[in-house]
Amino acid sequence: MALSLLIAIIVSILAWSHFRRRRRNLPPGPYPFPIIGNILQLGRNPHKSLTHLSKTYGPLMSLKLGSIHTVVVSSPDSARLVLQEHDQAFSGRTIPAAAEAHGFDEISIGLIPVGERWRKLRKLCKEQMFSARRLDGGAGVRREKVGRLVDYLRECSARGRAVDLGQAAFVTSFNLLSATFFSVDLIEFESDATQQLKETIEGVTKILGTPNVADFFPILKRLDPQRIKKRSEFYFGRLLGVLGGIIDGRMESRSMETKNDLLAALLHLMDGSEYDLTYKDVQHLFLDLFVGGSDSTQCTVEWAMTELLANPEKMSNAKNELRSVIGEKNQVEESDISRLPYLQALIKETLRLHIPGPFLVPRQAVREVEIGGYVIPQHSQIFVNAWAIGRDSSIWPNPTSFEPKRFLNNNMGFKGQDFEFIPFGSGEKNVPRFASGR
Ligand code: HEM
């Protein structure tokens, strides 16, 4: 008797949710269980599980993750609708509880709403970091960092020592950023301090990506049942401490005038400028740039090398191109890159197969929108499954095979104009726009 009552209740909840979905014409999707919704269907690898589900429900799919309505976008056409045609309507971010540590969500360029403050920060980055003057000025620093990586690899090779490529790529990308930002190398190839900073950055990125029951049921945020917020307070605090120490050191040493780096420019702008920059803004902007820039670059380099080692033929194509273009010169210059189409293609192919953010950085609908004949309610969370798009066999022949040459025969770029290939996202928030003068 009790069992049949329970079954009747569950059936009526499912029927009611089905009715509501039809009435509101939401995109189709698997039936959500009461309370937990579709959480169990995410599995251990959500990007793979959602790719699989979208084969049944289509490129615009609704899910209920706890109490959060979520839309999964899995085709280039739907990605174009979301990221380009309705960019403004989908310009919000869902804020994970972990990102609320130290008020990061209220300051971070990646999380604040698109508005006056966000535009000012983007303009600031474009002018102070990615302007042609700043990029040209930093070429020597970048050359030196790459030179140090090459020296380190040679040294290991001469001694017959194995190289931890992930660690080497991390040190190089981190020092490239720190030298551009502060004119110092923060870490060394092999040291305890490097290990600790690496663990801190990894701690921040990992905690931001850990599934948190409090994100599915915001009512639980204050309880922090998995202690995720507490752990993120620790990692964010440690990184902010390192950054604060560098900023304080510069302010105390009064050597601001002698440096020509991003920190000097920002401290100068703190003294009253159109940007209304505070100490906390500067500290959090560096946090944003380190978190956004180190892990993504490191894992791309690591995957590229892994694919090359697993595909000797592609490795020798890359080496041959380098030999013929660089010749006897010992080092590749940035100006050589335009003459290295195979190298460019293999980086694109790496990003296609091993995109660092499979769902990009999730967006949020800031208002109700109608797309493709479906209603997307305000506050819906939007996952653009760029991992699925990059491995869609109707777009990419032999999609799981590493074939850099497929990018030699098309003109696909990085800037989010081709929705088959969007590792950096698209629309106004697109990363290469920092540097593209828009
Ligand atoms: C392989 C390298 C990288 C990949 C694949 C990548 C990918 C992405 C993606 C997909 C987004 C979200 C864009 C959107 O919502 O449409 C993003 C945002 C962002 N990335 Fe990266 N990124 C990379 C490297 C970097 C680097 C080197 C930096 C800085 C030094 C950086 C800083 C940022 C920032 C600040 C944002 C937030 C932008 C905003 O919301 O306005 N990223 N990135």
Residue 356 CA, ligand 1 centroid: distance in Å: 10
**Closest atom of ligand 1 relative to the 360 alpha carbon:** 10
Whole-model pTM?
0.91
Is residue 38 one of the residues assigned to a domain? yes
The amino acid that residue 278 corresponds to is T
Residue 114: closest CA among 148, 80, 87, 132: 87
The first and second tokens of residue 10, run together, are 């569950």
State whether 371 and 252 are in the same domain. Answer: no
The reply to whether 210 and 235 lie within a common domain is yes
Question: Structural domain tally of the chain?
Answer: 2
Residues 421 and 388: their CA atoms lie apart, in Å, by 11
Domain that holds residue 405: 25-94+344-438
Residues 281 and 366 in one domain: no
The Å distance, Cα 357 to ligand 1 centre, comes to 9
Report if residue 383 sits inside a domain.
Answer: yes
Q: Which of 428, 438, 418 is nearest to 93 (CA)?
A: 428
In a domain, 331, yes or no: no
Q: What is the pLDDT of residue 437?
A: 45
CA of residue 130 to ligand 1 center, whole Å: 13
- For position 19, what pLDDT does the model report? 46
Q: From CA 208, how far away is CA 236, in angstroms rounded?
A: 11
Choose the final residue of a domain: 264, 294, 310.
310
What is the best residue among 296, 359, 363, 415 to mutate for testing ligand 1's pocket, by most ligand atoms within 8 Å of CB? 296
- Same domain as 164, residue 108: yes
Among the candidates 310, 331, 358, a domain finishes at 310
Task: Report how far ligand 1's centroid is from the alpha carbon of 11 (Å).
Answer: 44
User: What is the position in ligand 1's atom list of the atom closest to the CA of 356?
Assistant: 5
Query: Quick one: 292 and 437 in the same domain?
Result: no
Number of Cβ within 10 Å of residue 313's Cβ equals 7
Same domain, 182 and 78: no
For residue 24, give both structure tokens.
């509101």
User: Is residue 338 assigned to a domain?
Assistant: no
Residue 68 within any structural domain of the chain:
yes
Residue 117 and residue 81 share a domain: no
Burial of 241 (0-12, 13-18, 19+ CB in 10 A): exposed
Q: For residues 278 and 145, state if they share a domain.
A: yes
Dist. CA 42–CA 377, nearest whole Å: 21
Which stretches in the chain have pLDDT values below 70?
Answer: 1-23, 187-193, 254-257, 431-438
| Listed residues 310, 336, 354: the one ending a domain | 310
- Is 323 within a domain? no
Q: What is the pLDDT of residue 25?
A: 94
Find the 427 Cα to ligand 1 centroid distance in Å. Answer: 12
Residue 216: phi and psi, rounded to 5, are: -80, -30
The residue to which tokens 């996952």 are assigned: 383
What is the strand order of the sheet 68-73 is part of? Answer: 60-65, 68-73, 381-384, 363-364
CATH number of the domain to which 399 belongs: 1.10.630.10
pLDDT at 438: 43
Shared-domain flag, residues 375 and 432: yes
Q: How far is the CA of 314 from the centre of ligand 1 (A)?
A: 28
**232 is a domain residue:** yes
Domain match, 84 and 124 both: no
Same domain, 144 and 290: yes
In angstroms, the CA 386 to CA 396 distance is 13
Do 56 and 129 fall within a single domain? Answer: no
**How far, in Å, is the centroid of ligand 1 from the Cα of 362?**
12
Does residue 3 fall inside a structural domain? no
Pocket around ligand 1: residues whose beta carbon is below 6 Å from it?
A: 109-110, 122, 177, 288-289, 292-293, 296-297, 300, 356-357, 360-361, 423-427, 429-431
Report the SS3 class of residue 111: coil
Ligand 1, atom nearest to 425 Cα: 16
